Amino acid sequence: MAELQSAVLIECSDELKKHMDKLNTFCRLCHKVISKPYNKLSFAREILTLFGINVEGEPKEIFPLYFCHTCARHLYRYRSGTDISSLQTLQSIKLKVYLPHSKDCVICFINEPSAKGRPKKRKLKHVNNENQDSIDHECDISENMSQDWGLTDEGEITVNFGNANQTTDVMLLLKHIQHVISSSSKEQHEDFFSKFLDLLPTDSLSVLCECLGRKQKQSISRDADSFFLMYKDMEAMSSFDIFDWLKKRDQSVTAYLLGLAGCDVNALEKNPRDALIVSRAVEHIYYLCSRNFISPVSFLANLTSYAMTGSKVVVDIFGNASPSGHYKTVTNWLKDQGSKPVQLPSNDLMNVFDNEQVVGKTYSIKPSNKVPVSVITNKGFLELNMHSIGKTLQNELSLKPEVKLDLQGHNVMTNKSSSEGKSENDKEVKLRGVINCMIDQVSELYVKMEIDHNEQLYHFIDHAIEVVLAEQQDKDGHFEDPIDLKHVAPLIQKKQKCTGCDEREGIKKAKLDQKNTKPDPKKKEKIPKLVFIHDEDQSKVSTVTTEFTQYDHITTNHKGKHELVLTDPVYCNPNSIKSVALVLRKIGQENGIHRYGGNKRHWTFVCCDGLPYLIIKKLKEEALVCAITGCHETFLSRDLYEKHCEQIHQGSEKQFMHEFDWMYLRIGAGHYEMNLVKSFFELNWTPFLETLCEIMGFCTDSSKQFAKSCKDHHKSWRLLLIFHLSSLQELVLPYVRNCLSTRCPPTAKGFLTSGIEKYSYGNYQNFKYMLDQVCKFSQGIVNFRMATRRNNADLLKSSKYMTKELFHGRNHPKYQKIELYDTIQDRMMPDNVRELNDLYASITTSGNPSAGEDLDFVLEEKNKQLKAWIPKGMPTDIIWQTVCRNNRALEKIKNHSLSLFGIQSTKYVSRPLGIEDAITAYRTCLRRSNYLDKEKDHTSISGMALDEGLVNFVHEATKKRIVMLRTEFLGEIFEEQSTFKHPLPITPSEREKLQSFGNMTIKQIQKEIHKMLNKIPDPFQFDYHNYIYEQEVETKGKTKLLNFLEELKRVMETLDTEFEDQIRYNFDGYACQHIKSYNIW
């Protein structure tokens, strides 16, 4: 009975297997016969969307596993969104109802499909027929093998014993081999085949391998077709696993390759490199069987090489050598990636935008020829989480920012209630208090900023003292270091004579004898070096034992890594009021701002660089929306609104709203740092930095201009560090040697105390100016970089406060306004809004706590990523939109691919800057020139005379900043306001140029003329010159005004001379008794 049940089960299982085999010859959708199968799981999302069917959960005993080529093509086009007709075709398909297998199964009774085309002629079997299929009618066993044997339905071998003895022996041998294989275990199979292959000669073994290849070609081709479209699925590529892919491939191919590699399947999972090698071999074998095949492994490699190089030649080389597709395949893959716009979350957000462009090439010469340029404004957002509050702030109307942060005029809406008027007065009082506090700079806030700055200054001074202290050597009561020997050595070499006997002969021999008798040098003590490096991720850290990590002592406020998400670009360049307004409206609509009909937020943060910042500031104050009933027209300036009211709403009371009152502006810290460095270089180029750059190899005029204008921020940053560290070490040198002589320990506090004494003594002008530049400005810039890297908002604000004079002392009008407006806005923010803003002073995209950047530089990095994916040529708007929407997925694919191929990113690897030799060279220059010990005149390192007022740069720049606060923000008027806009001169020639009449504006020249006219004592002279001025000069342009002023100046000198002659005559005529009446001396 048990045997009968077993037989029945076997028969049922055979029937079900035949049913499934026939079922899988039909398409799951159209039920047509499949010529080229495509796995239905590759289109699971599309089938669920179109038909509501979850194909991943369908039992394989009831439903087909594959789609036909036609349906797969339509599904792919529907996915990419490139063809509407494909969607209509798919929607018109009527799905077939599939039932479980039964005795009356319809599927099983369907006749075998006839082959397309002309039917093949049937071959007859003859006794001596050669080259007949032996087992599956596809592969030959031997050319001379008789066909008097065959396979029954049960799979057994039948033999015709009426043939020759040779044929009978072969058939009996095959039957015996089949019996041995069926009755032995896997281990016995391996032993049997190993011994059998050892018996075969080389020729027979090659024939056997060829037969195996021919036999497996068809099954390999079918397997290749089953995942032919896998490379087009972006999600599948971003999570592709080599080991899982290998396990699904043809077992005979993988087994053969594993035998060559000498390992098993389990070893591949533990060794990714071996799995990669085997997968590459598998795909090339598949490529031999299907020449149109594109492997996911090779395609990932080619896609990554395209993103890294952008080279068509490199991509085509890979395409010719592997199943990876060519350049056109890769670029079409990028263009076909359709996606939907990014949906913004409901959390608080910080937005950022910046322009990006692709400049094309033109090879032809023609009239009005222009270089093609594609410019966009790229946008992104960062999701903010304020854990301490546990709620969103941007949906609270009471936290909206102030529209105007100055007291010039009034910005009042009509029909305000008394409560609103009182609120406006309170805000005005607060704003006036903030501005007055910025003028006085005596509050606790500014004291704390100075303390934060001095903490880092003490840290750097202590390190400089440590370095200088380790270098000193006692030489009979005085101290020397290697720098002394370096700056004395060139002088000795120039003498070309012995310093002892003052003779020329024997110098070379004496040097050689001294070298041979010189004792073994002492091992130099290692000093921890102060360098700026990134701490690598903790899981992949490679410590630099000889370096002193700069950022560790700064408190970090990073809370894990963050991601900047890109949104759809705006196709304009944000360099005008109109284009910036367009960008802001797009941001407002995406953020769901109530002003634009949204319901998510009343306000948000917007970060940008300098030029858009000032444009947005103006738009916040000037852009209006007409609030009169029935009219909601927008205007980019108040003048346009006034004209609108005069033309449309005559007699109606003016009512308006500010269109862009929904954002807190934020200047990008990266651009702010770049401009700080530029202003420092522009100020100190003549005193110090030109000499430093010459030492570093910037010798030509063009290279000096490159360094002075800070074209490369990375090089400028290194030059700044060299200056800062070397100058600080030379500043502390006299103090350290004095401490060694008096046997008292040197400290940072002690150095500053002694430095202030020397500073207050007026004779050391060079020392005084150098101390200001190093301890205040360059230290402040270094603090700014460290604060950004560690997301320390307190230190960031302190560094802005300590470096503010760099913008106000010279000609930097854009960042003068930005510095003041940013400071006032920060103080006017509600406390919880300021806390949220400070939490994200910078972000880290890698999780490295010492690799923070502000959003402007993070967006710059995103822009570089986008340009890497754009095909050659001028990108269209569709291409820009595609790469922006798919940026996260594309970068995920690239990073996943690099990980698969065992390539580790070097972006955040710790690298020392290697500036030790540069520091030594600059210190030698300072020591040789005796720059810091020179008295009286203030000069540059090269000896050029500097302006006598430059040594008081900090004081004069502070005065200019106060004047700007009073005039621009408090609305006060100064008679000499125009002179405060002039930059502080660096050299006497620059002062003379600034004070010349030629540099005055027309209004300034007219004012100077009026002053000189009023000083003319003779009324006839006054009337004459005044008449000429009013009738012939006043409105005739700047040139005539300057000529008249010069003429008036000569007239005044003549009048002064005549007056002095008259005095001398009176003095000689009236003698001494009239001296007192003149009261001249």
Query: What is the distance between the alpha carbons of residues 604 and 664, in angstroms, rounded to a whole number?
Result: 6
Phi-psi domain of 502 (left: phi exceeds 0; alpha: psi -120 through 50; beta: other): left
What are the φ and ψ backbone dihedral angles of 940, each rounded to 5 degrees?
Answer: -85, 175
Burial class (CB in 10 A: 0-12, 13-18, 19+), 788: buried
Model confidence at 1024, pLDDT cuts 50, 70, 90, reads confident
Single-letter amino acid, residue 143: E
Pairing between strand 663-667 and 604-608? parallel
Model confidence at 59, pLDDT cuts 50, 70, 90, reads confident
Model confidence at 1059, pLDDT cuts 50, 70, 90, reads very low
Overall pTM > 0.85: no
Q: Which residues contact 965 (CB under 8 A, 6 or more apart)?
A: 435, 438, 439, 820
Model confidence at 754, pLDDT cuts 50, 70, 90, reads confident
Helix (H) or strand (E) holding 383: strand 373-384
Q: Would you say the C-alpha torsion 47, 51, 54, 59 has a positive or negative sign?
A: negative
Closest CA to 343 of 378, 392, 381: 381
Task: Give the largest Cα separation in the chain, rounded.
Answer: 167
Closest CA to 968 of 387, 409, 384: 409
Rounded mean pLDDT of 293-302?
Answer: 92
Q: Which residues pair with 474 in a beta bridge?
A: 479
- What is the per-residue pLDDT for 188? 82
Contact 276, 897 (CB under 8 A): no
Angle at 983 between CA 980 and CA 984, to 5 degrees: 95
Model confidence at 769, pLDDT cuts 50, 70, 90, reads very high
Query: What is the distance between the alpha carbons of residues 1039 and 1049, in angstroms, rounded to a whole number?
Result: 15
Kindly give the residue spans of alpha helices, DSSP state H, lying in 870-974. 877-885, 887-900, 916-929, 953-964
CA within 13 Å, CB half, 806: 29
- What is the per-residue pLDDT for 410? 46
SS3 384: strand
Torsion of CA 201, 207, 213, 218, to 10 degrees: -150
Higher pLDDT, 879 or 993: 879
Single-letter amino acid, residue 156: E
- What is the per-residue pLDDT for 430? 87
Rounded mean pLDDT of 271-291?
Answer: 90
Query: What is the distance between the alpha carbons of residues 197 and 220, in angstroms, rounded to a whole number?
Result: 24
Angle, helices 813-828 vs 418-440, to 10°: value is 120
Query: In whole angstroms, how far apart are CA 386 and each of 474, 562, 854?
Result: 58, 14, 18
- The alpha carbon of 247 is separated from its chain's Cα centroid by a whole number of angstroms, namely 39
Query: What is the distance between the alpha carbons of residues 54 and 614, in angstroms, rounded to a whole number?
Result: 54
Higher pLDDT, 739 or 1065: 739
User: What would the pLDDT profile of 902-934 be if each residue is shown by its tens digit?
Assistant: 887 666 566 677 899 999 999 999 999 999 988
Tokens for 488, please give them: 């004395």
Closest CA to 792 of 455, 1049, 515: 455
Query: What is the distance between the alpha carbons of residues 306 and 327, in angstroms, rounded to a whole number?
Result: 8
SS3 771: helix
User: What would the pLDDT profile of 597-656 be if each residue is shown by its tens digit?
Assistant: 888 999 999 999 989 999 999 999 999 999 888 888 899 999 999 898 888 888 788 888
Burial class (CB in 10 A: 0-12, 13-18, 19+), 452: buried
Average pLDDT across the chain, whole number: 81
Contact 798, 449 (CB under 8 A): yes
Residue 420 has pLDDT above 80, yes or no: no
Model confidence at 517, pLDDT cuts 50, 70, 90, reads low
**Residue 554 CB coordination number (10 Å):** 20
Share of the chain above pLDDT 90, in %: 36
**DSSP annotation string for 313-359:** HHHHHHHHHSSS--HHHHHHHHHT---PPPPPPSSEEEEEEEEEEEE
Query: What is the distance between the alpha carbons of residues 33 and 329, in angstroms, rounded to a whole number?
Result: 29
Least confident of 5-9, 99-103, 377-381, 448-452: 5-9
**Residue 169 CB coordination number (10 Å):** 10
Tokens for 1057, please give them: 């001379």
Model confidence at 465, pLDDT cuts 50, 70, 90, reads very high
Q: Encode 216-246: b = buried (16+ Cβ within 10 Å), e = exposed.
A: bbeebbebbbbbbbbbbbbebbbebebeebb
Closest CA to 893 of 857, 913, 865, 919: 865
Rounded mean pLDDT of 41-51?
Answer: 86
Model confidence at 1074, pLDDT cuts 50, 70, 90, reads very low
Model confidence at 132, pLDDT cuts 50, 70, 90, reads very low
